Structure formats: structure tokens, C-alpha cells
Amino acid sequence: MILKEKIKELRARFDAELAKAGTPDALEALRVAFLGKKGPVTDLMAELRNVEPSEKAEAGQLINTLKNELSDAIAKTGEALRAAALAAEIRRQKKYNPTLPARDAVGSYHPITLVQRELEEIFSSMGFTIEDYPEIVDDYHCFEALNIPKHHPARDMQDTYYIENGQLLKTHTSAAQNYIMKKYGAPLRAIFPGRCFRNEAIDACHENTFFQMEGIMIDENISISNLIYFMKTMLSEVFRRDIKVRLRPGFFPFVEPGFELDINCLICGGKGCPSCKNSGWLELCPCGMIHPNVLKAGGIDTDRYTGFAFGLGLTRLAMMKFGVKDIRDFNGGSLAALSQFVSE
Amino acid sequence: MLLSMNWIGDFVDLSGLDRRALIGRFTLSTAEVEEVIEKGADTCGVIVAKILSVDAHPNSGKLHLLKIDTGKEVVDCVCGAPNVRPGMKVAFAAVGASVSGNKIGKAEIAGYPSFGMCCSEAELGISADHSGLMEIEDDIPLGTDLKSVYEIDDLLFEVDNKSLTNRPDLWGHYGIAREFATLANRPLRPVPAHPTAQYDKLPALKIDVKEPDLCFRYSGITVEGIKTKKSPVNMRIRLFYCGSRAINLLADLTNYVMMELGQPMHAFDRRRVGQVEVNRFPAPFVFQTLDGAERNVDENMLMICSKGEPVAIAGVMGGLASEIEDDTDTLFLESANFNGISVRKTSSRLGLRTDASARYEKMLDPELTVPAIERFLDLLFQAAPDAKVTSRLTDVYVHKFEKITLEIDKAFVDRYTGIDISCDQIAATLTSLGFGVKRNGTAFTVDVPSWRATKDVTIKADLIEEITRIYGYDNFKITTTLSPLHPVRAEVPATDAKRIKDLLVERFSLHEVHSYIWSDSAKDKLLGIETPVNVRLINAQTPEHSSFRISMIPTLLSFAYENKGFAEAFGLYEIGHTVDGLLPDGTCNERKKLGVVLFDRTVNEETLYYRAHEMLIAIFRTLKHRSPDFVSAEPRFNWQHPVNLSEITLDGKTVGFLTTLHPSVRGKVDKKAAILAFELDMEIFSAISEKPLAYKEPSRYPGIDIDLSFSASVGALDFAAVETAARKVAGEYLKTVSLTDLYDGENGESVTLRFCFSSSEKTLARTEIQPAVDAIVAALSADFGMTLKTV
């Protein structure tokens, strides 16, 4: 059995070479040297034709086994080399530091935007359309169309900024009522957020530039009962808890009856505290049934339709919701304050 | 306005009811009560006593040693009041009593024991008078508890005048009492009156109303022989509690009747005023009012005159020359009704608001003038029984308000309220409030009482308020509406603004700020910004804020300047309104704009420029699916950079601009920072239609990328133009053109462009696209002087 001897000798030589092959390139050279077309295994196969026919089968098997064993050994070593290379790469890898501060990671929305969006979502979900309106308006839309004729004392309540061309800065979002009624007619449900202006000195509680959101709903048989329902539902959504509301008579020329809407004090829960002047209630928004004169000015048939309107102080709501104590923080542009309002 | 429950109690019996709870109901049904004040509770045990003797204090020039007879015993008292005299009856707080919260004990004053204290009215809290001891009328027995004689105990509440603007009837206790009577369901008593018909035979007064549009009614009467000078104690207490000050009997009576009925009155000294003309003066003049001030009266102001001499500013204040003096014993009493608008204008022009003008402004009921005189006389004869009326009640009634009658039915009430308020309750409520109600089944004919008919209640909806406020809004059952729902789609401008905010905040980490619609010329000046001439406000708080802003950027630059300490790099934006002059129709050209300012000390200006550029492309591509063009422009404002300023355009319309800052301004904002600004006109932006998405099947065959490098002169690359030119000649297989490298060398720019070719039908061979590549090279050479670099 010279063949067996040759195989044994070849195997020993291979094992010795394999132990020395420490790189993928060396391993590849080894593979070519032993298993390639000009390698010793191929030579052995060629010698097979000199073998006695009776021994041919066994000899062939022996060579095949050797061939497979060598291939497996190479593959196994190759695997180990690759694993060692990856392990080395990982060892070389720099460890990063997730505790380092991120630069400029997030921007911020103005708190008014956050409150406004929340209200818009609530009212959109109840089928209200959202309307935009200019900030510069005329006397008719701001006053006359709202049942506030010239010399009406209600004009004193709202210190108006007048412009040299006779226009004025809108003192309330109600200034859009007439336009929206004419645009859509009845039935109608709309909210219109916007910036309003009152000519007064600025301090921690007063701003000459602030946001309101007006809402109107006009349809057949809209009632005071509906108004209370909508206000309670909306405010409970805004504050994400069940809000108690109460209505008191309030005088606004564009509604009749007109109300002041109070909510139970969010700080003391209604027991009475300095924030609510111990009354347990906070005055939140004026509202009422739209005055027939206002409906008529908007081209709405008052025999058929009634409606309610309310005016929410968005700035005030944002102060309450976020605990902002100084109203000047809203228009002051200080990022130390404003950058905190990442999102809601 | 302060209101006294004792006073209200004159007109409605509230005994057995919780007065504080009723005041709470008043808040919910009538007007908000701001404060409830308990009076007299901290004073007790003060009795009527008599000074028996007065001795000088050996150790003090001011103090006296008194013997006081309390009715039960005689005690020693050391007293510092100047008006002590033997036989005088005083308010005495013996040991154990309390005076305005101070407990009285035995004391030693300058070495002498004192067993109590004699009180002044101020110490008792019933007036501001602390000049001396309160002197008690002689007929009150010794030992009587002072509170059983005088109304020291009272419950007051305060209502903000603003919440009564629409209710002229609530400017006196009687009107308030009517509300309480309704809320408590108790009857309202009539106002006591001294009938004046008995004087009809006396001569009439000469009253001439020359301005019937400004003076609706003038009633007057004269009285003589008024000996009493001081008002009764209880009247003075009520006036004091309600915020007035006692002056003399006649002035106090006018104030008292005004605070009771809401009708202002004026008492002239009959010696100065015997007849009146109600008129305006043709030319301005100076008039001295009874507060001593000189007022500039002009030709618009209604005056009360006597024989041509002005004696009062109608409805506002009387004149000093005709006021009641110490020796006045004859009276010309005015009870008039003036046009509220005229009084309001006069009062605001003079800067003089009085209790009278505040009431007249509300359009008082002219029917009140005569009952007010009859109430005045009733009170006067109680205080001064010797007085004598010397004229008939002369009444010039030139303008009557129309009687208002309204028809409503239950269905109307149901529709407005959404709940079921019974017909009985509707009728009872209106009747109790003084409305005349005729009921016919479920229909009502309602007569509006004169005190609600001057402007307050004019339409059916006003009656709804009366019915519902008394019913109580807290008793309402609340229900949702039954209106059909329709889909509502937000309008483009609103969604554009929302999406831009989201992009800027969530993708580019910008901070949203709010500022003002006007320029701040002081802040502009600080940064070297010239505030442009623009439309102005008439009545700005300060001249620096009087001109509207044209651009959003100056305010944002101020904010960037003020936030320098916040971070090394940050971005700010605001979507706000601006005004760019006037439109041809004379109205303001109001523009809604997005302004963005980037501030960065960590990168150079060029890097920041391309970051801003990227934001703009992102905004346009995300919202409109298109990219804008950038066109060089001339600066409009001094802060814009003369070279690096581009107009942002699309379809030939200018949507905004992108600019670096002029070095003169940038250096003032920050010496080290790169600063970029851009602005978009939101209306123009929203008018750009969104390009519809058009899906193209991606090619299933590999494409060929050809990179070509060109030389060009510096600054010559107009990428959009190059792309257009290439597409024009390249044929159908050219899919995209992109910039892979741009290098500014000494001799010009080196530009590497990548042209991607592909076909949706086959794998392209290089030879198939070579003609297109050649055409592109030729076109770029011809159009832009770009020469292909050989590798």
C-alpha cells in the first residue's frame, strides 16, 4: 500500500503547513499548493489509474476522504482567521461616549402655537373649520358689525390702536365674525385664532399684543344648553381633566344673552386660594348667544338660525397651562424661556 | 360700587335668609361681586354715656380727666379729644368693649387711671371724622348700646362698575334691591315719597331747555328755611360705608338719593341760581368747578346756566360759585336727565369722571327725575321739618323714550335655552323684575319698564337673558347639538404655515418666537438698521413703536443679538404680519411673512449660507414638490448684503429673499458670528399650487453614470441653467444631473457634474449615449464657456 503511505505523508506535510498559515493569503496559497490542479492531491488522483482494479474503489475513496479533510481544515482555519480579524477590528474600535451633550438637538414651538394647535385639533374633531383673518381691520368689522356703534361705552373698554389711514389694529378676534358669516352663511361652525392689540402699558400681567381664539357655531336651534356643553367639553379636553364651568351674566354688545364663563380654579380645585381670590373660580372667557343684529349684519336669517360665540384668551390659556407668570415672556424673544416649549 | 345690605333691606325684607348666599346668587344672576365686607362686627359694647365733669390733666396740656356716667356707674376716663365738655353725651367703650377690633381694658395714661374710652366717629369706623368725639343726640338714654340706635352693623358688597355698564337701573340701591327681591322671591317695597302735587299752585320756575337732543328732561323745585346743616347719623354712616363722604345736609341728600335711586341731583344755592337755561356756549371758556379746579369748557359741552352765567357742567359737576355754603338755607334742586353720549364725551374731554357722569353715561331712565325729587323732599322734611317749598315742581320733559313692547312665546324661549322653563316661571320672573306681562296661553306680551327701556332691553333676545339669568345657568341641563357633521378640510395657508413650522422646528431645530407688528426704531438703531418710512399708528405708546415693520428680519436680528449668550449657534423664526405701505385703495398692504435668522459662531458664513439654502429647498420641495429659483437682486434695506442677496422666485413670482448681512450691521450683531436671513411672503407662497405627484416606474435596467469635469470662470456656474441646457440637448435617456464637486482654483472654477442615463426598456451601451454626452459638452461650451477637462 504505497498509496496509503503517500496519503499519510501528505497529510502530515499539510498539517505542518496549515499550522504556519496565519493569514487569509497564506491559507489561500496553501489551498492552491495542496488542492490546486497542480497539487499533490491531483497527482494522487492521476496515480489511481496504476492501481489494481480490485483495489481501485478503496484507493479512490481514500483520496476523496483526504481531499475533503483538507478542504474542511482549510475552511475551518479560514473561519477562525476571519473571526480573529473581526475581534481584532473590534478591539481597535474607539469606544464612543453617549453621555456627551448633543448640540442643537431640538428646536421649539412658541407656547401659543402649542396651545393653538391643541385647540384647533379639538375643534377640528368636532367639525369646526379654522379661519385666518388680517390683523389690520376697519371700524365696521371691529365694531359696527358687532353691534358696537360709535360712542358706545364698550369702545372704551378696548383701547384701540388707530392707524393714520383710518384703519385700526383689531382689538378682538370677533372682528372676523362678519367676514366669516358672509363667507360661509349658515349653518356654520368655525374657530378663528388671531393676534389682537390693545393700547395699554405693558407689565407682567398686561400686553398690548396678545392672542385670542374666537369660535362661533350657527345652526337651527343652537341653544344656551349647547353653548355650555361645548365650552365644558372643549375646556376638559384642553386641561385633560373634567372641568367644572359656570356662567354668569356678562355684557358684550355682540352677544345676547352674554356670559362670563368661569372654570373651577385649577390650582386649589375650587376650595379657594390666592390665585382665584378665594372664590374657587377663575374667569376664563366671555361667550354668549350671537346678537341678532350681528347675525343680520352677517347675512344670516335670524328667524331660522341662532348661534353661540366665545372668545378664548389664548395667551391667558397658555399662561395657565404652562405656569407662565410674566406675560412679557411671550413676545420677549428670550430663548432661555421659549426654547423649553419643545412640543406637547 | 359699594352696596349696603341694610340699605337694600329698606326695600325688600330679607329677614330669615342667608344674606351671603343671596350675594352669591347675585354674582350668578346679575353681576359679579368682587368682595363682601362685614362692617361693625369688630366693634361691640359701645354705649351712650355722659360726661359729668372735665378737669385738666396735671401732666399734660392736651389730656383731660373725665368723670363719665354710664347710666349704671360713674367711671374715670382720661381723654385727649378737644371737644369734651360737661353734659355732653358720647359713645363710650367701657372696659371689656371692643372698638374696631381693639379690646378696651383698664389703662393708666400719663399717671392717671382710665376705665374706658370715649370714641370719635373715625374710631368707630363710621366716618372719616377724627376731629373730636362723636356727639350723641341728647334724647338717647344712658347705657343704650350704640348699635341699637345707629346702623353700625352692615354687610357690604362691591361690584365692579364695568360689569354694570349695560344696566342703568343698577346704579342705585333700589335697582339692586329689585334684583334681590326677585332672587329671594319677596316683594319690593315702593320708594317713600313726599308728594309734590300740593305745590302745583305755587309759581313755576323758569327752566329753558335749549338743547332738547342733549337734555331730555329737567325737573326743579325750590325750598327755603332749611336750618339743619348736618345729616342724620345713619345717613352719614351709609354714605361713608358706600364710599362717599358727608359734606352738609343738602349735598349729602343729593348723594344719598343718587346712591339710592341712581338719579344724580344737584343742589344750587337759591341765592345764586333762581332760574336755569340748558345750553351750549359758542366759544370756549374757563369754568371753575366745585372741586376748585379750572376746566376748559368748549362749545360741544352742555352747560347749566342761570341768566346767561354758567353754573354747572351738565351731568358732570356743579360750579364753585353756586355751591351750597355754610349759611345756605335756600335751595334750587336740579333733577335732570341728559343724553348719555354727550355726558360721556364731555367727561372724557375734560378728563373728569364723577359719580353723576358715570351714571348719566349709561342712559338713565328720564322717568326717575320726579320720584327723585319727591324722595329728596321726604328725606329733607325728616331732617329739617321747618323747610318750606317755594315753587311748584317744574318739569320740562322734552324727550321721552318710546315705550317698548315685545312679543315672545315659550317656543322661542325653548329654542334659545335648549331646556324647558315653564310659562309660569317665565311670567313670574318678568313680573318680579318690573316687566308688564300679559299672558295668552304660551304667548306673552311684555311691556319693558322705563328703567330698562333706554337701551338695555330692546329685543326679544334681551328677555331671554332676564328669564335665564334668574333661572340660573347652573341649573341648566347641558346637551350637545344635533347638527349634521360635514368633512372640514383645512385651508392651504393654514396647512402651509403649520408644515413650515414643523419643518423648521423638527428638522432644522429652529426656535419659534413672537414679536410685535411695529418696528422698534430704538433697537434698530442699536444694530445700525435704518427703520424704513412706513404706515404709522396714530396713538402708539412710544414714538419708537409707531411705524409698522415691513420685514420680519430686523426684529429677529434684535432677538439674535439679545440671545447671544444662549448658545454658540441657534436659529430663530416667526410667521407674523407686516405692512408694506398702502394699497391703491388706501388700505394697508398687510403681508403675512415667514422670517428666519440663523446665528452661528461655529461655522463660516458660506457653510451657513448653504444651510439656509437647504432649508429653503426643503420647504419648497416638501410643500410644493418644486425647487425655487434664486435671482440676484438689489438691496432694499441697509442690512441686506449688496452681493449675497437673492430673490427667491418661482414661476416668475418673487416669494422672498435670502441674504447675508451687510458687514456694517453684522458686526454690530456679533463680531464673530456668521448670520443668515431669509424671508418668504406666506400669501404668495400659498398661492403656488402644489405640483401633483406623478409616479414614474423605476427602470429595471442598470444605468450609466458619466462624470464630466469642466473648467469655468469663477462664479459663472448657474447650476439650474446648466441643467436646463444639458437636458435640452441630451435626449430621452438623461435622467438626472447632479453636482459632485466644485472647486475654486486660482484660474477659475473646476466643476464636476454627474449625468445619469438610463432606459426603462433596455440596458444602455456606452456607445448609445455617447452622442448625448458630446452634445452636452458642446452645449455647455457654447452657452457657458465651460471647457471639458481631459483627465
- For residue B255, pLDDT beyond 70: yes
Average pLDDT rounded to a whole number, residues B685-695: 92
Separation between Cα atoms, residue B416 and residue B542, nearest integer Å: 47
- Smallest Cβ–Cβ distance between A209 and the set B483, B493, B516 belongs to B516
Residues B147 and B163 placed together within one structural domain of the fold: no
Collect all residues with Cβ–Cβ distance below 8 Å to B19 and sequence separation of at least 6.
Answer: B5, B155
Residue B482 in any domain: the answer is no
Contact call for A103 and B569, based on CB within 8 A: yes
Average pLDDT rounded to a whole number, residues A122-146: 93
Residues B631 and B496 placed together within one structural domain of the fold: yes
> CATH number for the domain including B51?
2.40.50.140
- For residue B374, pLDDT beyond 80: yes
Please choose, from the candidates B508, B536, B532, B507, the residue with its C-alpha nearest in 3D space to the C-alpha of residue B521: B532
Residues B147 and B9 placed together within one structural domain of the fold: no
- For residue B692, pLDDT beyond 70: yes
Please choose, from the candidates B545, B568, B547, B572, the residue with its C-alpha nearest in 3D space to the C-alpha of residue B560: B572
pLDDT band at A153 (very low <50, low <70, confident <90, very high): low
Residues B417 and B530 placed together within one structural domain of the fold: no
Tell me how far CA of residue B733 lies from CA of A166, B279, B378, B736, B773, in angstroms. 62, 94, 108, 9, 11
When divided into structural domains, chain B yields a total of 6
CA distance A88 to chain B (A): 35
- Smallest Cβ–Cβ distance between B588 and the set A167, A209, A333 belongs to A167
Contact call for B468 and A107, based on CB within 8 A: no
CA distance A57 to chain B (A): 51
Please choose, from the candidates A153, A122, A117, the residue with its C-alpha nearest in 3D space to the C-alpha of residue B358: A153
* Chain B partners within 8 Å of A259 (Cβ): 473
Say if CB A217 and CB B481 are below 8 A apart: yes
Tell me how far CA of residue B748 lies from CA of B4, B742, B743, B751, in angstroms. 92, 11, 8, 10
* Chain A partners within 8 Å of B483 (Cβ): 127, 187, 189, 217, 219, 222
* Chain A partners within 8 Å of B461 (Cβ): 256-257, 289, 291-292
As a residue count, chain B comes to 791
Separation between Cα atoms, residue A218 and residue B357, nearest integer Å: 39
Contact call for A108 and B477, based on CB within 8 A: no
Predicted confidence (pLDDT) per residue in A26-45, tens digit:
999 999 988 888 888 888 88
Contact call for B512 and A209, based on CB within 8 A: no
Collect all residues with Cβ–Cβ distance below 8 Å to B95 and sequence separation of at least 6.
Answer: B104, B105, B106, B115, B116
- For residue B111, pLDDT beyond 70: yes
Give residues 146 to 175 of B whose Cβ lies within 8 Å of A.
Answer: 162-163, 165-167
CB atoms within 10 A of CB B767: 7
Q: Using a CB–CB cutoff of 8 Å, tell me whether B419 touches chain A.
A: yes
Please choose, from the candidates A316, A333, A118, the residue with its C-alpha nearest in 3D space to the C-alpha of residue A210: A316
Q: Using a CB–CB cutoff of 8 Å, tell me whether A107 touches chain B.
A: yes
Q: What's residue B754's pLDDT? A: 94
Residues B296 and B160 placed together within one structural domain of the fold: no
- 3-state SS of B708-755? EEEEECCCCCCHHHHHHHHHHHHCCCEEEEEEEEEEEECCEEEEEEEE
Task: Calculate ∠ Cα A344-B552-B505, nearest 5°.
Answer: 25
Please choose, from the candidates B302, B368, B288, the residue with its C-alpha nearest in 3D space to the C-alpha of residue B340: B302
CA distance A247 to chain B (A): 6
Q: What's residue A240's pLDDT? A: 86
Residues B350 and B280 placed together within one structural domain of the fold: yes
Residues B240 and B93 placed together within one structural domain of the fold: no
Q: What's residue B638's pLDDT? A: 96
CA distance A31 to chain B (A): 37
CB atoms within 10 A of CB A121: 12
Please choose, from the candidates B257, B248, B436, B209, the residue with its C-alpha nearest in 3D space to the C-alpha of residue B328: B248
Query: What is the layout of strands, in order, in the sheet containing B436-440?
Result: B405-409, B443-447, B436-440
Residues B304 and B225 placed together within one structural domain of the fold: yes
- For residue A1, pLDDT beyond 60: no
- Smallest Cβ–Cβ distance between A249 and the set B31, B490, B562 belongs to B31
Residue B727 in any domain: the answer is yes
* Chain B partners within 8 Å of A155 (Cβ): none
Q: What's residue B258's pLDDT? A: 98
* Chain A partners within 8 Å of B349 (Cβ): none
C-alpha cell at B143: 347705657
Residues B166 and B233 placed together within one structural domain of the fold: no
Beta bridge partners of A243: none
In degrees and rounded to multiples of 5, residue A307 shows phi and psi of: -165, 165
Contact call for A219 and B483, based on CB within 8 A: yes
Q: Using a CB–CB cutoff of 8 Å, tell me whether B459 touches chain A.
A: yes
CA–centroid distance for A177 within its chain:
31
Predicted confidence (pLDDT) per residue in A108-126, tens digit:
999 999 999 999 999 998 8
* Chain B partners within 8 Å of A230 (Cβ): 480-481
Preferred mutation among B513, B541, B561, B573 to probe A, highest tally of A CBs within 10 A: B513
Residues B465 and B328 placed together within one structural domain of the fold: no
Residue B693 in any domain: the answer is no
- For residue B660, pLDDT beyond 90: yes
Average pLDDT rounded to a whole number, residues B167-183: 97
Average pLDDT rounded to a whole number, residues B80-102: 93
Contact call for A246 and B28, based on CB within 8 A: yes
CA distance A308 to chain B (A): 10
**Options 3.30.910.20, 3.30.930.10, 1.10.10.10, 3.40.630.10; which CATH number does A111-338 get?**
3.30.930.10
Q: What's residue A40's pLDDT? A: 87
- Helix H or strand E encompassing A62: helix A53-92
Contact call for A333 and B558, based on CB within 8 A: yes
Q: What's residue B334's pLDDT? A: 97
Specify the pTM: 0.85
> CATH number for the domain including B379?
3.50.40.10
Please choose, from the candidates B753, B502, B740, the residue with its C-alpha nearest in 3D space to the C-alpha of residue B615: B502
CA–centroid distance for B305 within its chain:
37
Q: Using a CB–CB cutoff of 8 Å, tell me whether B587 touches chain A.
A: yes
Contact call for B587 and A136, based on CB within 8 A: yes
The residue of chain B with its CA nearest to that of A104 is B509
Supply the mean pLDDT for chain B.
Answer: 94
Q: What's residue A200's pLDDT? A: 87
Residue B697 in any domain: the answer is no
Q: What's residue B744's pLDDT? A: 79
Residue B123 in any domain: the answer is yes
Preferred mutation among B454, B488, B499, B516 to probe A, highest tally of A CBs within 10 A: B488
Predicted confidence (pLDDT) per residue in B599-658, tens digit:
999 999 999 999 999 999 999 999 999 999 999 999 999 999 999 999 999 998 999 999
- Smallest Cβ–Cβ distance between A129 and the set B485, B488, B579 belongs to B488
Residues B243 and B179 placed together within one structural domain of the fold: no
Residue where a domain terminates, one of B372, B397, B422: B397
Separation between Cα atoms, residue B92 and residue B143, nearest integer Å: 9
Residue B698 in any domain: the answer is no
Contact call for A256 and B417, based on CB within 8 A: no
Residue B480 in any domain: the answer is no
Please choose, from the candidates B337, B334, B10, the residue with its C-alpha nearest in 3D space to the C-alpha of residue B192: B10
Residues B460 and B540 placed together within one structural domain of the fold: no
Predicted confidence (pLDDT) per residue in B259-314, tens digit:
999 999 999 999 999 999 999 999 999 999 999 999 999 999 999 999 999 999 99
Residue B723 in any domain: the answer is yes
Query: Cβ-count burial of B782 within 10 angstroms (0-12 exposed, 13-18 middle, 19+ buried)?
Result: exposed
Beta bridge partners of B269: B331
Q: How many A-B residue pairs are in contact by the CB < 8 A criterion?
A: 230
Contact call for B586 and A106, based on CB within 8 A: no
Give residues 607 to 666 of B whose Cβ lies within 8 Å of A.
Answer: none
C-alpha cell at B130: 377724627
Average pLDDT rounded to a whole number, residues A34-57: 84
Contact call for B510 and A331, based on CB within 8 A: no
* Chain B partners within 8 Å of A306 (Cβ): 415-416
Say if CB A260 and CB A286 are below 8 A apart: yes
CA distance B492 to chain A (A): 11
- For residue B79, pLDDT beyond 80: yes
Contact call for A336 and B566, based on CB within 8 A: yes
Separation between Cα atoms, residue B506 and residue B503, nearest integer Å: 5
pLDDT band at A104 (very low <50, low <70, confident <90, very high): low
Q: Which domain holds residue B436?
A: 405-475
Say if CB B574 and CB B596 are below 8 A apart: no
3-class SS of residue B227: coil
In degrees and rounded to multiples of 5, residue A261 shows phi and psi of: -100, 125
